[in-house]
Amino acid sequence: MALTKETTYDYEITGIGKNIQQKRTDTIYEDGVKLTDSYHRAVYMIGMNLDGIEDEETVKSLSSSLWTPQVSASYALMTMSQSLGL
């Protein structure tokens, strides 16, 4: 009886700030037959520290291409508008 674990990541980009939603799937196999899946989600937003997170290289690559100065400005404007109740 050999148990193995496989971890995969899926990503979805949402919102004005191009939030990066990460879904981690852990799959447990016994002798090659899938027993179970478990899921974990994390959301990364502009300005967050991405050092040491899961699948760091992929998330940093996505953030550098998505979080442009224009996206950052739009996100800042939306955040300010919400804080003012507009």
pTM for the predicted model, two decimal places: 0.85
Beta carbons of 31 and 1 less than 8 angstroms apart: yes
Per-residue pLDDT tens digits for 21-68: 999 999 999 999 999 999 999 999 999 999 999 999 999 999 999 999
Beta carbons of 64 and 46 less than 8 angstroms apart: no
pLDDT band at 80; cut points 50, 70, 90 = very high
What does the buried/exposed string (b/e) look like for 17-47 if buried means 16 or more CB atoms within 10 Å of the residue's CB? bbbbebeeeeeeeeeeeeeeeeeeeeebebe
